[in-house]
Amino acid sequence: MDTNVLKSKFRGSLLGSLLGDCLGSPFEGEPITAGEKIVIQRYFDKLESPDLKGPVRSYTDDTAMMKSIAQSLIAKPEIDYKHMAKLFVKDYFLEPHRGYGPNVVDVFSKLRKSKFDDIYRPAREQFNGKGSFGNGGAMRIAPIALYFYNDYNLMVEAAKKSTEITHTNSLGVHGAVLQCIAIHKALLTDPKEEIKFDQFCPEITKKIKLVEQEDDDGLELDDDHPYEDKVKFVQHFLQTNYHEELDEEVCQNLGTSILAYDSVPTAIYCFLRALKNDIETVKTDNIFRRTIQYAITLGGDTDTIACMAGAIAGAYLGEEAINVNMAKQCESYKEIIELADQLHALVVK
């Protein structure tokens, strides 16, 4: 792929992640009624206006941690997970009010107290040794997909290792790997050759199946391949003709919660649905906007689902698809472009 196209896609993915977070966070946990969908439509219409004044929209933990990963990859191109852990912790203690997950903050305190002697121990101890399966690993993963765009196996390994600093439950780790695989697939697909809907899900299903098989403990206690099954559900919903009532079924079956299992497949669905057809309650011809606005109208963990859907949409469509006025409304948007460019300069020759 042409290096300039890739540069635009690197920017698109990190900006997509930022915009989803900043624009989705005011609605996190709010019940989304028909009236609220109209409010969201007007909010997005206004955001596209060049005349909009007022304070920028703040980012939350999703972007804070995504920035730390990008900064760490840039500062330590040989990959240093202790350095990455230190950036997570430093950012948290500098700005603790960015809406971090209720339990992950204990990991940060323990890492600080232990002087980072074993960066994986505090996360392993979470939830009585089960580890977290929140979506905190997945929400921040975009820089890993970009940095390792040329080496799929290293990408999967880095997705796991960077996630395990805070999340060790296989549902948390595999959720992050699935999100990384989806961004990677979108990144390497030329937007001129339209994504073939019938292929995107089967391809990422095959990949996540391998990851789930490799990490299987062999005890056959629970469902051994939850994400493989869930992506098949995404495919099923995509094959169903869209109507507004379908959203209810999507929310119930795919989920919209703070858990990785209940949010990563939903983000993938939002991107593919927005790409496939118009959505009655989301009036725009712009596929990037449709993706994040639609994700927000599903409710629940709106900042994170819009952030993850935005990272995939941006990786596919590139920066040009993102309205500049809307991007300028988001805190640190110039810094995010700078980080994307530095990652691109490091890995795209």
Known binder of ligand: residue 190? no
**Binds 130, which of ligand F2R, Mg ion, none (CB < 5 to 8 A, cut-off by type)?**
ligand F2R
Alpha-carbon span 36 to 46, nearest angstrom: 15
- Give the binding range for Mg ion (CB under 5 A) out of 87-95, 156-164, 297-305, 315-323: 297-305
Q: Which of 228, 262, 301, 319 binds Mg ion (CB under 5 A)?
A: 301
272 SS3 class: helix
Strand partners, 134: 259
Nearest residue (CB) to ligand F2R, 131 versus 314: 131
Known binder of ligand: residue 61? yes
Contacts with ligand F2R by CB under 6 A lie at 28, 60-62, 99-104, 127, 130, 132-136, 139, 169, 258-259, 301, 303-304
279 SS3 class: strand
Residue 303 contacts Mg ion per CB under 5 A: yes
Nearest residue (CB) to ligand F2R, 282 versus 307: 307
Alpha-carbon span 224 to 212, nearest angstrom: 7
**Binds 212, which of Mg ion, ligand F2R, none (CB < 5 to 8 A, cut-off by type)?**
none
Q: Which of 11, 61, 260, 329 binds Mg ion (CB under 5 A)?
A: 61
Alpha-carbon span 312 to 270, nearest angstrom: 10
Alpha-carbon span 24 to 293, nearest angstrom: 8
Which residues make Cβ contacts (< 8 Å) with residue 194, sequence separation at least 6? none
Residue 304 contacts Mg ion per CB under 5 A: yes
Q: Which of 8, 13, 17, 60 binds Mg ion (CB under 5 A)?
A: 60
Which residues make Cβ contacts (< 8 Å) with residue 241, sequence separation at least 6? none
Nearest residue (CB) to Mg ion, 62 versus 262: 62
Known binder of ligand: residue 303? yes
Nearest residue (CB) to Mg ion, 100 versus 116: 100
Known binder of ligand: residue 223? no
Known binder of ligand: residue 224? no
Q: What is the DSSP letter of 55?
A: P
Nearest residue (CB) to ligand F2R, 17 versus 135: 135
- Give the burial string for 177-200 (b: 16+ CB within 10 Å, else e): bbbbbbbbbbbbbebeeebeeeeb
Q: Where does residue 86 rank: exposed (0-12), middle (13-18), buried (19+ CB within 10 A)?
A: middle
Question: Annotated binding residues for Mg(2+), as ranges?
Answer: 60-62, 301, 303-304
**Interface ranges with Mg ion (CB under 5 A):** 60-62, 99, 301, 303-304
Question: Annotated binding residues, as ranges?
Answer: 60-62, 301, 303-304
